[in-house]
A = this chain, B = another copy of it.
Amino acid sequence: MSKPGPSELETREALSAAAEWVATYLQNPERYPVLSRVRPGDVSATLPDLPPEQGERLEDILRDVDALIMPGITHWNHPGFFAYFGITGSAPGVIGELVASALNVNAMLWRTSPAATELEQRTLRWVAHMLGLPTGWFGEILDTASSSTFCALAAAREAAGLDIRNRGMAGRPDLPPLAVYTSCEAHSSVDKAAIALGFGRNFTRRIEVDDAFRMRPDRLAQAIEKDIADGVRPVVVVATTGTTSTTSVDPVPAIADLCERHGIWLHVDAAYGGSAALVPELCWVLEGCERADSLVTNPHKWMLTPIDCSLLYTRHPDALKRAFSLVADYLKTDDGDAVNLMDYGLSLGRRFRSLKLWFVIRAFGRAGIAQVIERHVSLAQELARQIDEAPGWERLAPTPLSTVCFRHVPGPGVDADAHNKEIVDRVNASGEVFVSSTVLRGSYAIRVAIGNVASERRHVQRAWELMREVAG
């Protein structure tokens, strides 16, 4: 019986062909419409209902990437991608992923992955240094900010000293309700974590924001004091530097004051905004964050690294470890003080994510990444000015970083929300750019988020041109 799977020659040829394909793709993603034009079910209809019984040739599968998969791709790696957060799977990061997937190591224990464990810690230190965060903080790389925030909140819950690890939360008359505080502009991952960890949505306090969509410390103080008076225990505050809708930056110093006064864990969600601190002029985004108990920032958002790569830092690794560490007999080792990263999160299996981050940081250098971020911010500031100056258009939020929220004001009798939604849909149908939307103070807002390494002035200006054309 022949050996299953591709031969060595076929493998070598297919790897080479795939590398060529990737180089060509990264060189010119603009061949494709940025937003896929398929309708739900279209891709499925091209895929066999049942798996093949016998193996197929790799060249045929690669051909089907073009034929079956590409039509259903919305191109996050396209310079006209301005939706959600513009992100980049840069070539150095892609090469890092390629090598990591071939090595296929599991960075659970030090001994199963010495290089992965130690490179993870070193790249975390590098990023902390670049962002002006304390380099002595413990860190780990997780998949997404949702996971990082979840782990941070789990550590905060454990640090509250209620022995939830062993005794659980249900059926305990000694336990008061436990509350989480975050702004009403914070990411839904805070609610998800609060639900999963048993705090409950009803005890996730969404604090009011100011005119610039920043959490109001006075309202936070009131909420905390009211809860304490009502017998609810405040456990954790989540501040955001770079909220998802408008990239507003919460006043972390004032929030840190409150947390210190009440002994509450402060977690900072800097998933998007954190990277901006690479640029000296933007380092204010992390002001006060050195006082946080934990902080998440995502190189897969604005630091040119392919998803997934989320960095969680904490000054309390012991709390994180108490929240998650369990060492089975089959995992016991005697490597002394070496860090076993499985002890600090939900997952035992851990990919070698630091390799791509190492490739990215080395290939671009701090200055190179900073230059990309600076350009994005500058392009967004130009667009913001243009909107401010254009009759019939209005910005709906400040633009502190590279995301612009605005709308067109239609003539009398026309529903503004429907009108702007129509603009977004028609612009996105062009295939040239893809913008998303949000809701700000009850109004539908067009949202342009600039973050892809290949996005240039012409792409942003084309988006603006298309919107004006469509708005009439």
- Kindly state whether residue A457 has any CB partner on chain B within 8 Å: no
CB distance from A426 to the nearest CB of B (A): 14
Contacts of A300 in B (CB 8 A): 349
Contacting B at CB under 8 A, from A333-361, are 335-338, 346-351, 355-356, 358-359, 361
Cβ contact of A84, chosen from B144, B245, B330, cutoff 8 A: B330
Chain A interface size range? 35 or more
With A56-B362, A168-B177, A348-B188 as contacts: A69 and B102 at CB distance below 8 Å? no
- Kindly state whether residue A249 has any CB partner on chain B within 8 Å: no
- Kindly state whether residue A18 has any CB partner on chain B within 8 Å: yes
A95 touches B1 (CB 8 A): no
With A55-B362, A364-B4 as contacts: A196 and B346 at CB distance below 8 Å? yes
CA distance A193 to B346 in the complex (A): 7
CA distance A304 to B60 in the complex (A): 19
- Kindly state whether residue A293 has any CB partner on chain B within 8 Å: no
Contacts of A98 in B (CB 8 A): 15, 18-19, 22, 94, 97-98, 101
CB distance from A325 to the nearest CB of B (A): 9
Residue of B nearest to A200 (CB): B168
Contacts of A145 in B (CB 8 A): 348-349
CA distance A358 to B69 in the complex (A): 11
- Kindly state whether residue A154 has any CB partner on chain B within 8 Å: yes
A349 touches B47 (CB 8 A): no
Contacts of A102 in B (CB 8 A): 22, 25-26, 77, 89, 94, 306
Contacts of A4 in B (CB 8 A): 364-365, 367-369, 371-372
Could you write out 20 A-B pairs with CB less than 8 Å apart?
A: A11-B23, A43-B115, A55-B365, A57-B363, A60-B362, A72-B115, A72-B119, A73-B105, A74-B113, A89-B101, A98-B101, A101-B306, A146-B349, A147-B346, A165-B200, A166-B200, A168-B177, A168-B202, A198-B198, A307-B349
